[in-house]
Structure 1
């Protein structure tokens, strides 16, 4: 019998890459989405059908205890990859309560359901997608599994809560449950509301003569940016260790937003300084510090390392957006 995986948030960037990976490994894949009729759902079906696979979808927000328990009873997964979240930092300032429940509350409901099923003899392995934003303004650089969390926004705070819940259920109830502390990871499938995709899509549209400028907030920021396809491989590896362990997943290289702009606009033979404007209204109330991860433990225990460079990532995103823009013109 093939192993069965449940991916929460399967229609998102990470969910779609993970679904493809698991299908290639012979898994039966099921997943949750808030809307089975959304464009992202249709996109997922196109992606997996091209690989000759299928993903069974369940429409659920995962915000009802009984609904979560019934879902896990029905799916009977061997592995759960919990990727669903309110993951936009800016929106978390506007909707802090909703962010806390979507991220910490849902994680708790899933853990409780797994604990209940474990009491009935079921063996389920649980992965939780944590975030480098939990480090906030870190006390050391690079950040490791031992670096203290100093969250700077409601999103990060909700993820810290979820992280500790996972650790508590692992230690108290004996669940195989772990968190990947994922540093920023991007791809052509990144939603347009995130700054990296805003940049690459704007570069493509400006090159095609469809817009003239791109307006951003704080340009004095940077991140440890990796490729989402590499990061879902680390998730799978984390659920196949003898013992569950929380691990940092990162490239170990920090790049500024200006570097990202430079690379993206150069790909379409433009100078970003001619097209990018700043608007103070778009700046966050509190910005995180220099987030760059040390994934030495992941390399040692998982045999994992990123395969895509920063430059390759940006080029791939711009090329995909150029193709998308031209196709819609």
Structure 2
């Protein structure tokens, strides 16, 4: 039975990946930070087959203990402070967790393996936010990185460090440059879930409007459940490498609003949407659209859920969630 350790187990990616690995017969361990973590119950309910281990990406000794307990064949480093807007408010903390946390995990693996790095494979969750001020469209694995937020800068550090450990120590270390991926499990602070929750609330008469930032911003949005399969496929390859994981399509916030409101029978969303500059980024990224050709050719991966289906799935899920609460 293969064994896997997942950091960031409480996030949407961690939950979907744990489900996938359990279905494939893995013994799965999840790293969880802090005593009485309120999300521990969420993990236990969603993926009851996962064994939770205490640990913190900022504390290398705790990572060594987790590795010793889990004895993993594969490590998936999904843990990060991942809300871009928050990274300007907490730049130092974002750096400690999202950047230096990668170093701590790579070093913990190197030390724990006692030089025999052939027995463990590592996945790093890189991000399309690394492209920032994009230098070519669409973005590929070879596109110059130009991050435009503390979060993006931190992800670049972790990305290049993963490459460095692969080249310096021969570690089977791969990075997935994931473009925006969403689901009903997405945190409410992210724009897609913010919209789906608000639209469901407006439909049910629980709120009157939603306050948004830049409605012209465009992203390449996919379904998180599809993207975690790409992570697993990377670690099954004989040679480690880096892959862009994306749909190859881009959509605006306005399109997101169109589909979300239309799914509850509201054709004109303008009366329900208010713009506020407080929700604009200090430095907006340009057109993010990924080229997943390498992942399709090498990994045999491609997304299954389209953008419209994804948005409708999220709205329907939040309608059900809010109806059950009221």
Is the shorter-chain TM-score for this pair beyond 0.5, marking a shared fold? yes
Local SS of the residue matching 2:47 = helix
> Does residue 98 of structure 2 align to residue 103 of structure 1?
yes
* Equivalent-residue separation in structure 2 for 1:303 and 1:156 (angstroms): 28
8 Å Cα contact 2:6-2:31 kept in structure 1: yes
Alignment of 1:82-93 (within 5 A): 82-93=77-88
Equivalent position of 2:22 in the other structure: 23
Unaligned runs of 5+ in 2: none
Alpha-carbon deviation of 1:251?
0.2
Which of these residues, 244, 249, 253, is aligned with residue 240 of structure 2?
A: 244
8 Å Cα contact 1:126-1:239 kept in structure 2: yes
Which of these residues, 122, 132, 137, is aligned with residue 136 of structure 1?
A: 132
Q: CA RMSD in A?
A: 1.1
Local SS of the residue matching 1:293 = coil
8 Å Cα contact 1:35-1:41 kept in structure 2: no
Local SS of the residue matching 1:327 = helix
Alpha-carbon deviation of 1:39?
4.4
* Equivalent-residue separation in structure 2 for 1:106 and 1:14 (angstroms): 18
Give TM-score scaled by structure 1 length: 0.96
Unaligned runs of 5+ in 1: none
Equivalent position of 1:328 in the other structure: 325
8 Å Cα contact 2:56-2:62 kept in structure 1: no
Alpha-carbon deviation of 1:35?
4.3
Alignment of 1:231-310 (within 5 A): 231-270=227-266, 271-310=268-307
Give TM-score scaled by structure 2 length: 0.97
> Does residue 113 of structure 2 align to residue 118 of structure 1?
yes
Q: Which moved more, 1:54-63 or 1:14-23?
A: 54-63
* Equivalent-residue separation in structure 1 for 2:254 and 2:203 (angstroms): 18
* Equivalent-residue separation in structure 2 for 1:258 and 1:59 (angstroms): 41
Which of these residues, 39, 47, 57, is aligned with residue 62 of structure 1?
A: 57
Equivalent position of 1:196 in the other structure: 192
Equivalent position of 2:220 in the other structure: 224
* Equivalent-residue separation in structure 1 for 2:203 and 2:39 (angstroms): 26
Q: Which moved more, 1:72-81 or 1:257-266?
A: 72-81
8 Å Cα contact 1:17-1:228 kept in structure 2: yes
Q: Which moved more, 1:179-188 or 1:35-44?
A: 35-44
Alpha-carbon deviation of 1:44?
2.0
> Does residue 152 of structure 2 align to residue 156 of structure 1?
yes
Local SS of the residue matching 1:284 = coil
Q: Which moved more, 1:220-229 or 1:61-70?
A: 61-70
* Equivalent-residue separation in structure 1 for 2:106 and 2:139 (angstroms): 27
Which of these residues, 176, 187, 194, is aligned with residue 180 of structure 1?
A: 176
Q: Which moved more, 1:55-64 or 1:257-266?
A: 55-64
* Equivalent-residue separation in structure 2 for 1:118 and 1:68 (angstroms): 13
Q: Which moved more, 1:244-253 or 1:65-74?
A: 65-74
Distance 1:43 1:36, change over 3 A: farther
Q: Deviation per CA, 1:264-308: give whole Å up to 9, x if none.
A: 010011122120001111211000000000000000000000000
Local SS of the residue matching 2:126 = strand
Local SS of the residue matching 1:181 = strand
Local SS of the residue matching 2:122 = strand
Q: Deviation per CA, 1:128-151: give whole Å up to 9, x if none.
A: 000000000111100000100000
